Amino acid sequence: MNNGKLVYTYREALDKGIYRSRFNRAIKDLIDKGFLDVAGYEGRYNARALYALSERWRDYGTDKFIPHSEGKYAFGESDAVANDEVGWGSSQAAGEVSQA
């Protein structure tokens, strides 16, 4: 498994009929509920996010749940988006999400 190197691009999602807003909500939900973590970024320009599968979800809804690091969302290909622009905080995010 390539945990920490999972990538799924906007283009791949769009080819399957998944639009940007739905894609962003899905990634945010997966991170918020503990299924994914942002592992890093790949590329200098047109950077894309790398995701890792997480076990945090096992504690979701309990006092033991560890929330994601604030601002650690990453969205679409070649977009450097400040989370406050989409209403989710103030850290910078960039990237794509896919299975490598």
Question: Any idea which residue has 């990634």 for tokens?
Answer: 27
Q: Decide: helix, strand or coil at residue 11.
A: helix
Distance CA 32, CA 39 (A): 15
pTM of the model: 0.67
List, in sequence order, the alpha helices (H) in 5-77: 10-15, 20-32
* Domain total in the chain: 1
Residue 49 lies in a domain: yes
Distance CA 70, CA 5 (A): 21
Residue 64 lies in a domain: yes
Residue 100 lies in a domain: no
Distance CA 68, CA 37 (A): 7
Residue 4 lies in a domain: no
Residues 48-83 pLDDT 10s: 788 899 999 999 999 999 988 766 665 544 433 333
Residues 79-99 pLDDT 10s: 333 333 333 333 333 333 444
Residue 82 lies in a domain: yes
